[in-house]
Amino acid sequence: MTTVVSPFVELRRRLHQIPEPGFAEFKTQQLLLDYLSTLEHDRMELKTWKTGILVKIKGKNPTKLIAYRADMDGLPIEEETSYEFRSSHPGYMHACGHDMHMAIGLGVLTYFVEHQVNDDLLFIFQPAEEGPGGALPMMHSEEFQAWRPDCIFGLHVAPEYPVGTIATKPGILFANTSELFIDLTGKGGHAAFPHTANDMVVAAAHLATQLQSIISRNLNPLDSGVITIGKIEAGTKQNIIAEKARLEGTIRTLSLESMSKIKSRIESLIKGIETGFECQADIDYGANYCQVYNDEKLVRGFMDWVSQSGKAEVIECTEAMTGEDFGYFLSEIPGFMFWLGVDTPYGLHHAKIEPSEQAIEVAIRVMTGYISNIAGA
């Protein structure tokens, strides 16, 4: 017997098959535009920005503009799920739930095309959340500034919570983050003559170990921070001393002060590596995301409303070292983000993650109800 799925679950599955890198979400954008064209309504206006989309829905008697944001890009991960609708793009996967985020956004948008509220609504489909970062340039674009909202909301799937549960908190929810790229250049040579070369494998190994001492010995034990080196590349063959090495990682903190201190300490350690191993070091911090900081009044009101409405179970969670460029929106516009339970044993960015699709309807139900409540249905 064929199982009937909701149109937004079906849209999620179609989106899941076409994950694309940041600012290259061409098929994704077209799929969204094709769906939006089926909703043609005189109350709906649409703009594109790069590979992103902005959709404004006019209210009956607007006093404010309320925004909802969904991110669009995929990750460079080879999918290992059991899905029949697996990624058709080799080496790319929606492993962070952005396919779910977009499907939910379309569901909420569709509801408000059909059910007009008093206030104007803005739906933002934002590219490049995973990198190099789409929120900040999108927020500063002419298209966004013409429709600058008064408040903004977003969600992120959470594998660890059951379906029917949402989790959030006032204040900082996600960390400040920075990419970290370090290139070391020394002198290569024959493996049999190490004294004639400057080995960048050894230099990289020393540096990777030293970097871990920053959190344990330079950061206040009552503060929180993470330095992770996720990738090291060096050398070409087992009997050749490597002339170059590259370390790639991430830094995460719960305060801007700690981020600054960690970067300063990294730069000091690198100077020591240059002296100790007679090499040259170059550092690049790549994309930097500011913290996701929830407006206390708005998020408390949201949590109270969800609890009283019975549309989901709401939990006050602790902050996480997750990074999200939604924080740039919240740095200038009051709003909040929350975790949406999707009940899967595999974590975010895992090749086997299979979020429960039942969470799509939960999120649509919660957000249509909440926005109707604050926008004047």
**Distance between CA 151 and CA 122 in Å, rounded?**
10
Task: Confirm whether 130 is a catalytic residue.
Answer: yes
**Distance between CA 65 and CA 355 in Å, rounded?**
31
Residue with tokens 């979020």: 355
| Cα–Cα distances in angstroms (integers) from residue 209 to residues 70, 202, 213, 220, in the given order | 38, 11, 7, 19
Task: Confirm whether 183 is a catalytic residue.
Answer: no
The DSSP H or E segment spanning 253 is strand 244-253
Largest CA distance in the chain: 80
Please answer whether residues 178 and 323 qualify as being in contact, where contact means their C-beta atoms are separated by less than 8 angstroms. no
Q: Which residues of 284-295 are buried (b: 16+ CB within 10 A; e: fewer)?
A: eebbbbbbbbbb
Annotated active-site residue in 73, 119, 129, 130: 130
Q: Which of 22, 285, 266, 21 is nearest to 176 (CA)?
A: 285
Annotated active-site residue in 71, 119, 179, 243: 71
| Cα–Cα distances in angstroms (integers) from residue 320 to residues 173, 174, 219, 247, 328, in the given order | 6, 5, 18, 24, 17
First to last CA, the chain: 39
Q: What are the structure tokens assigned to 115, written together?
A: 């059910």
Mention every residue, 6+ apart, whose C-beta is less than 8 A from residue 242: 186, 188, 199, 200, 201, 234, 235, 236
**Distance between CA 235 and CA 245 in Å, rounded?**
7
Q: What are the structure tokens assigned to 204, written together?
A: 């990289």
Active site residue ranges = 71, 130
